[in-house]
Amino acid sequence: MPDYRRNRVPGGTYFFTVNLLERNRSLLTDNIELLRNAVRTTRRNKPFHIDAWVVLPDHMHCIWTLPEGDADYAARWKAIKIAFSKALPHTESLSAVRLAKGERGIWQRRYWEHTIRDERDYAAHMDYVHINPVKHGHVARVADWPYSSFHRLLVAGVYAPDWAGGNDEVLATGEHS
């Protein structure tokens, strides 16, 4: 059996990638309000700061900072996944294993987590989160993707309106100068 080890830093900042089980579906963007409600409900019960978030049709990337003394991001992801899943009608196909365990066939069981190490790592992951809609061919300019914290960060002056609007260097590396 695999031994999954997670780095847990109380009050830490983390980058996540969370995928749908069926990567050809667009459940996340088709049901964006259900996802937003799941996140809101979870944040009321177990607060965390959203540094960055982008929702694509079949996966999402985000950066969270947890409250001081708290490293339990796993409980937060579990709550978000459960709340979103419960809000959806049962239309997915289920494997025998998932059926036997009483699971839905919506999410991949695991997710990618990375503990942010320093300011450079933070900046690189912030850029990676926001460039993803362009990287995956959903839009030509980051500003054109509606399901992204880019818009909030644009207003805050973190990014310029034309950031990564076809900039080959940013597209290739996920970083900007």
Last residue of a domain, one of 67, 86, 116: 116
Q: Which residues contact 135 (CB under 8 A, 6 or more apart)?
A: 171, 174
Domain around 99: 10-116
> 17 forms bridges with which residues in the sheet?
61, 112
Q: Which residues contact 23 (CB under 8 A, 6 or more apart)?
A: 58, 59
- The CATH number for 84's domain is 3.30.70.1290
Instruction: Clarify whether residues 104 and 126 are in a common domain.
Output: no
pLDDT grade for 102, boundaries at 50, 70 and 90? confident
Domain membership of residue 4 (yes or no) is no
The strand ranges marked E within the chain are 13-19, 49-55, 59-65, 112-115
Domain membership of residue 5 (yes or no) is no
Percent of the chain with pLDDT over 70: 90
Q: Pick the range with the lowest mean pLDDT from 81-85, 100-104, 111-115.
A: 100-104
Measured between alpha carbons, how far is 31 from 88 in angstroms, rounded to an integer? 8
Instruction: Clarify whether residues 43 and 74 are in a common domain.
Output: yes
Mean pLDDT of the chain: 89
Instruction: Clarify whether residues 81 and 132 are in a common domain.
Output: no
pLDDT grade for 3, boundaries at 50, 70 and 90? low
Q: Which tens digit of pLDDT belongs to each residue from 17-40? A: 999 998 999 999 999 999 999 999
Last residue of a domain, one of 99, 116, 133: 116
> What is the number of structural domains in the chain?
2
Domain membership of residue 51 (yes or no) is yes
Instruction: Clarify whether residues 78 and 124 are in a common domain.
Output: no
Instruction: Clarify whether residues 32 and 111 are in a common domain.
Output: yes
Last residue of a domain, one of 90, 116, 142: 116
Residue 150, helix vs strand vs coil: helix
For 151-176, what is the mean pLDDT?
71
Catalytic residues: 147
- Sheet with 13-19: list strands edge to edge: 49-55, 59-65, 13-19, 112-115
Asked if pLDDT for residue 41 goes beyond 90, the answer is: yes
Measured between alpha carbons, how far is 48 from 66 in angstroms, rounded to an integer? 5
| Tally of CB atoms within 10 A around 36 | 13
- The tokens describing 35, both together, are 């996802």
Instruction: Clarify whether residues 104 and 163 are in a common domain.
Output: no
Q: Pick the range with the lowest mean pLDDT from 3-7, 60-64, 81-85.
A: 3-7
